[in-house]
Amino acid sequence: MKSRKLYNRIAVLRKERNISRKELAEIIGVNFQTVGYLEREEYNPSLDLAFKISEYFELPIELIFSTKPLKPLIEEIIELKNKIGEQ
């Protein structure tokens, strides 16, 4: 199966928590370069690694990873605000 390219928000989420790749890598138990590869979306994580990342950020996998390009979080927020406002 040719794997589709997946998108993720690891870099942004990591920045928001103010930790380095090295620190994140240690927590989720991979090499720090592996975090780099993931953030640059050069390859996809295994499902197990996705679960570990999801556990660390305490967010569902679907909020971190996506099959479609991810909008900046700030845009998501604006859209949600509009949606609430418009009813």
Partner DNA sequence: ACAATATATTGTAAATATACAACAAAAAAT
Partner DNA sequence: ATTTTTTGTTGTATATTTACAATATATTGT
Q: In the complex, which residues of this chain contact a second copy (CB under 8 A)?
A: 1, 3-4, 6, 29-30, 34, 44-51, 55, 60-62, 65, 67
CB of 7 to DNA, least distance (A): 13
Under the criterion CB under 7 A, does residue 21 sit at the interface with DNA? yes
- From 1, 69, 82, 85, residue interacting with DNA (rule: CB under 7 A): 1
CA nearest 72: which of 17, 7, 28? 7
Query: Which amino acid is residue 50, in one-letter code?
Result: A
Give the number of C-alpha atoms closer than 13 A to the C-alpha of residue 5, restricted to the C-beta side: 9
